[in-house]
Each structure stands twice: as C-alpha cells, then as structure tokens.
Structure 1
Amino acid sequence: MTKRVESKQMRVCHVTTVHPPFDTRIFHKQCRSLASAGHDVHLVAQHSCDEIVDSVQIWGLPTAPNRLLRILIWPWLAIKRILTLEPRPEIVHFHDPELLIYLSWLRLLGFRVVYDVHENVAGSLRNKHYLPSLVGRMVANIFSLIERVGLVAGLPTVHVMDTIAEQYPVPRYLVRNLPNRSLVSEAERAITSSPWRLAYLGAITENRGAMTMLELLAGLVRDGHDVHLTLAGNIVPVELQARMASFISASNLGDRVTMTGRVEWKHGISIVRDAHLGLCLLDPTPNYMNSLPTKALEYMSQGVPVVISNFDCFIPFVSKPNAGIMVDITSADSIRREVGELLNNPELLTTLGKNGKLAIRNDLNWENDFDTLLAAYREILKDKPFH
C-alpha cells in the first residue's frame, strides 16, 4: 500500500451500492492508498455500521434485500448520505453503473464527480445469467443511451483497461486494478509434483470456465498426470453446482477436486501460493475480451505460472512478460495438451513463475497506477484550491 504523505489534502468520497465495503479495488487499493497519502477519505457502501477502518470513514447503508430494490432505492440512500457529509467532499467517486443517472444531478449541486468503469458494462449486461437474452440486450441498449447522455456533459471517467477507456471521450484516465507491490511473495518456490496442483480463485460460473477446468482435469488424469484442482469461490447459479457434481462423479474425480466455497482474501492467496498453475480459462464474451486479467495478476504475484484464454487484451500482462501460456479456449484438446507439456517441464514452470513476480514488482503494480489516480483528481480540481 502507498505510504507517501502529501502536503495538500483532498476530501474524497467513494460510493458503491453494489460492491462489498472491503472490495479490493475500491477499499484496499483506492481508499486505503488515499488515506495513507494523507487525504480525508470516506466510503459509502452497504455495511452493518458507520466506522473508521484503516483511516477510511465508512458510512454504512442497510443491506438491500434483493437486486431490484438495490437498483431502484439504494442509489437514493447513497445520494442522501453524500448530501449529509460536512464538510462536503471535493470529489465523489462512483463505482456502479446504476448510479450513473444521478451524477448529472450532483454536478448541478456543485460536486466534482468521477465515474469508475470497472468493466465493459453493456457487454456484461448482455451475458447476465439472470436476464433472458432479449431482455439483456434491451437493458444493455438502455444503459448505453444513459451513459452517452452523461458523457456528453464531460463526465470524467476512470478505467481498468485501455481498450475500454478508448471507447470513452475525454476526460478519461487509466487506473488499472493491479496487485500491490507488497503482495509479491519473496519466498522461493520448489517445483515438485505428487500431485500437480491447479488452482482457480474467484466466482465460479459457466463463462468463467467452470466446466472447462473440470474437463481439463479429467483429460490430464486420462493422460497419466497425478493432478489436483482447487476451486476457491462461490458457484453461480445453483444449477451449475449440480452439473459440476455430476461431472466429477461420472469422471471419478472426487478425490482430485476441492471446492472451498468463497474464502477470505488471505486464505485465497495461500491456496494460490501452494499451486503449480493458476487457471483463468474465460469464455470469449465481449466483457472478458475487454478486461484486465485480475486473477492472473494475483497468481503472478505469488510466482505461479498462468494458464489463460488467448485474448488480445491479455497479451501485455501474460504473454509479453512470459509469465504463463495463452490457450485456445475453444479447444479442450489443445488446452489439455499444452498444460500437459508444461507439467512435464518443471524448469519452464520455475522460469515462468519468476518472470511473473518480476513483472508485478517492476511494472504491473498498483503503486504505479495510484499516481495516475492522484493526477486525475488534481486535474479535476485544478480550478479549486486544496484545503
């Protein structure tokens, strides 16, 4: 986490009605880094109480009972909380697309606002499992219209990917969701098998490779590899869990798969650190093909080589630093063959792991991009003196 202390203090309020209060990007990176640099930082989010954590003042919103009420009512609760803050924040940094419609109103009241685009939202809406295909397309089109109206007024935006940022007008800023440099493991890894350990950390869904990972495991076992797969995350939807259980049983993989459910961040990192390979086998959806490989970067920080879908947007993060292999996600045989070859080459595994750690330590880290966030805030406030 950034330790620099600045002489001129800003009052900044981050707002989310979707993400948990201790979200990695919002709280652990942006808010904590700002507070550590000496700024007055507030966070409005769903939380059980108002409290100060790591010098960040959290203002708790009640927990939304369902998605519809969260979309319709919770933005108003967040806005109401912002309006009660004294002194008022100089910058209000929003993190959810459903809040976008309210930003112009706050700007009319004199607030400087920033819209943080975490993903290709329209592409994501078209692929939500809880929305029928036609409804998903309609919602995506409506959102795109609302977004365009807001951006015409010169709304500053912050982005996790340059390919997403390029789709937005200026002012726009690239602030990637990269690992903290301090996350890099200094321990030397000993590459030994018996069994080879594969790991995945994050939400387990169909388009995040749930069945692809199980099929890979089954194929490696058929090829004679002694291998184990750990899946750390919640399975969504429930129907997918039944399909996975059926496949595991039919393929006789019961003693080769561990499904932990959602784990605390530190536990998840320990699972990754113990693995020989980290998996990031995403389907070619519009959202993922325009995304930052956050989980892959976490694997790299622990010296774990990455097996990732061969999307162009991932090349600068995995292929360029030679920190893993990029595979054709549409070919199960190709994935199985390439991973098998990698497991047969422990020396290459060691090299790929070291390359990944070096890339995070020297370049692909949050500390570098935090400077960009500070510069963005200064530019937004350039005609308004700091306090």
Structure 2
Amino acid sequence: MRVCVGTIVHHPEDARITHRQIRALLDAGHQVTFIAPFTHCNVTPPPEIRPIDVPRAVGLHRRKAIRAARSALKRGVKDADILLIHDIELLLALPRKRPPTVWDVHEDTAAAMEAKTYLPDPVRNILPPLVRGMEGRAERRMHLFLAEESYRERFVGDHPVIPNLTYVPDTPPPPPGDNRIVYIGQLAQARGAIEMIEIARRLRGHGVRLDLIGPADADIRPLLRDAQREGVLDWFGHVPNQHALRMAEGALAGLSLLHDLPNYRGSTPTKVIEYMARGIPVITTPLTRAASLVGRVDCGTIVPFGDVESVVSSVTQAVLRLRDNAERRNAMGARGYFEALHHYHWPLVSGEFVGHLERWADAPDASQARQPGRILPV
C-alpha cells in the first residue's frame, strides 16, 4: 500500500505521526510519502520515506502554508492508495482528484481556540462555529480517526479511536532519582509553563532542578531564557520523542500542569502515559481522565487547579515529599510502568491502525468501509 501522510501544523518528528503511525506503516511493509515542514523545523527526512517539504502553518500566518499544501498534496497523491491528513487546515487544501482520504483528529480544534492567545477576541468568537461546520463536512466526505474517546460526541458516525499511546520499554527503567523533575511537551501558558518556571525557582534552594524538554510558544521563550540564565532550570527545546523519553528516565517526577480548559477536559495527556512508561511518578492537575488514571493506579500526585502561587506551592510540596521518601516514589514509578506496559503500549493498537487504512484503501466508499473502532480501556 502506498500512503501519503500530510501535515503543515505539526513538527515532522511529531510522536503520534512519525514515531508511531508512520513507523507502524513502514514496519508493515507499506510505502510512505510524507508532506511536512522539514526545512522550517530543521529536520532531515529519514531515508525510508519519500519527503515533500512545505512551509509550516504558524499562528496567524497560515495562508502561504495552505497554498503550498495544495500543490504538495497534488504531487503526493498521484500514485497513492490512501491519503492520511493530520490538520484541519489541510481540509482547505485537498485536491479534488484524490484516493480515499482519512483525517486523524488530534484535538478539539474549536475548544482549543480559548488557549490560542495570539488570536484577536473577535476571531476567537467567530472561528468555533466555522470549525464545527468543517468537521461535519469532513465526516460526510472522508474517514476519521479519533485520538480520544471523548471526541465521539462531536461526530454523528462511529469512528475508530486510535489513542495516544507510547512505546514502553520491555524491561523496567531505572528507579526515580531525588534531584531532578522533568516536563516533556509544548511549553505554553495554558500548559503550566509560567507555573513551572516559578516551581524551578522555588526548588532551587532544595537542590532539585527542572528539565524542560519541548518547544515553547513565542510569549514563553523570553521567560525561559531568563530562567535558564539564572541557572534555575535547563530548557532543551525540541528533542525527538524517543530521545526525550530516555532523558526523562531517572527523574524524581514528571509534570503535567494543564489548565482547566475545554480542549483538555476530555483528554488523557500523553505525557502522563509517557512518564508512567519511563517509571517516574506523575504530578498532574485534576483533569478528569488524568486524575482518574493517576489516582486509580496510584502512580503519582494530583494537585489542585488555582492561581500561579497556589499551584507552585502545591507542586513544590509534592516534589519534596517524593524526594524525602524513596520507597514511595519507587513504588509509584513501578506501578505506573506496569500499567503502561500492559495497557498503554503502542503496539497494542498499531496493527488496528494499519488494518483500518488497508481496508479503507480497498473500499473507497466511506459508507461501506467505516467500521466501529475498538476503544482501549483506560
């Protein structure tokens, strides 16, 4: 099967797209054309794929990327058996003549508008209804994958859920240490970046450092640079997912301090599962699914939502309690690893992901090919 995969929003080394889905396709013997912003992100395409470079859609500057995507998609689908897109923006760039098309729905785009601080207020109010209309039209014209079970509520049909799992090592990772905490992912206000900077300052006097692994929003970068110059934290920027996870091993705890926003409420943050897979305790805000998972497994600490000072205080206390109790943090790390290995290991669903694409490529009519998806237990 020849698969064309496209994104103009995500990093070419996005964990879900590249390290899970494309890797599963290549391992199954399929050919992949990958349309992505390689030059913009300073990424060298891997030799196993056929790359097509496009500009990246960033902030309010998306028209150029969408225009370039139209041309790239026409090239990419010429000999493809199926097209897999990862951005709602690409719904505006699809060629009329194309193979069966699949949209992988990563997030609740309309709900995410609240966290996009670069959008003017009038635009932020106008866009959600337009986005919902685009979703409905896409559902009628193509196949969908959903990254979360909660996304089913936005759609009429029954679409397969391919959750954001991770690769879990076959052997237990090293036990948690006592002098370092870690965060993996995009650094943004809504994801707790300001709180984490203050946590790093607070913990400096206790001999605990913070490693931040991931790219940052434009308004957060100066704050991170200042904190790094102060020597209170280490910010590594974007690191390929498999390397970032290895860097996390041995940390005292992993942070997930997402704010109480609509786009996050129905989701299980991938970073929570990644911390569990690497045997480190989780410290998370009480988003329903994250708190349910961490509380059920007893693999971390749940801290309340609140203003910056209250969150900083709660997290600092949680970190120091873990630092001073090696038995407790080791047990949390071991429980998290065991749960991730048996329930959140990507190979548990990678075959299902590939199988859906193979069936849809053979049955171009979406109404004939659509089948209920299996939902992984949480």
Aligned to 2:51: 58
How far apart are 1:26 and its partner, in Å?
1.1
Report if the CA contact (8 A) 2:165-2:345 is conserved.
yes
Alignment deviations for residues 307-356 of structure 1 (CA, whole Å, 9 cap, x no partner): 01111122454333332222212243444444433333211100111112
Match for residue 273 of structure 1 among 228, 240, 249: 249
> Is the counterpart of residue 159 in structure 1 residue 152 in structure 2?
no
Which structure 2 residues correspond to residues 1-387 of structure 1 after superposition, within 5 A? 10-48=1-39, 53=46, 55-61=48-54, 63-64=55-56, 71-85=62-76, 88-103=79-94, 106=96, 109=97, 111-151=99-139, 153-181=140-168, 183=169, 186-189=172-175, 191=176, 193=178, 196-218=179-201, 225-238=206-219, 240-243=220-223, 254-265=230-241, 267-315=243-291, 317-330=293-306, 331-332=310-311, 333-381=313-361, 383=363
Moved more, 48-57 or 348-357: 48-57
Letter of the structure 2 residue corresponding to residue 188 of structure 1: P
Change (3 A) 1:359 1:245: same
Question: TM-score with structure 1 length normalisation?
Answer: 0.81
Letter of the structure 1 residue corresponding to residue 8 of structure 2: T
Moved more, 281-290 or 72-81: 72-81
How far apart are 1:20 and its partner, in Å?
2.6
Report if the CA contact (8 A) 1:184-1:302 is conserved.
no
Report if the CA contact (8 A) 2:24-2:351 is conserved.
no
Distance in 2 (alpha carbons) for counterparts of 1:244 and 1:384: 48
Change (3 A) 1:65 1:358: closer
What is the percent sequence identity of the aligned residues?
A: 25
DSSP-derived class of the 1:92 partner: strand
Report if the CA contact (8 A) 1:328-1:335 is conserved.
no
Aligned to 2:370: none
Alignment deviations for residues 91-135 of structure 1 (CA, whole Å, 9 cap, x no partner): 1111011112345x64xx352111111111111123212112332
Change (3 A) 1:384 1:237: closer
Distance in 2 (alpha carbons) for counterparts of 1:101 and 1:245: 37
Change (3 A) 1:54 1:344: same
How far apart are 1:306 and its partner, in Å?
0.7
Moved more, 305-314 or 45-54: 45-54
Q: Show structure 1 runs of 5+ residues with no match.
A: 1-9
Report if the CA contact (8 A) 1:50-1:57 is conserved.
no
Aligned-pair Cα RMSD in Å: 3.1
Distance in 2 (alpha carbons) for counterparts of 1:65 and 1:206: 20
Question: TM-score with structure 2 length normalisation?
Answer: 0.83
Alignment deviations for residues 15-67 of structure 1 (CA, whole Å, 9 cap, x no partner): 11122322221122111211111112221122349997352222223x35965
DSSP-derived class of the 2:156 partner: coil
Distance in 2 (alpha carbons) for counterparts of 1:113 and 1:131: 30
Larger Rg: 1
Alignment deviations for residues 70-97 of structure 1 (CA, whole Å, 9 cap, x no partner): x324334333333335762121111011
Distance in 1 (alpha carbons) for counterparts of 2:77 and 2:177: 58
Report if the CA contact (8 A) 1:91-1:112 is conserved.
yes
How far apart are 1:137 and its partner, in Å?
2.1
Change (3 A) 1:33 1:126: same
Distance in 2 (alpha carbons) for counterparts of 1:310 and 1:285: 12
Distance in 2 (alpha carbons) for counterparts of 1:227 and 1:345: 14
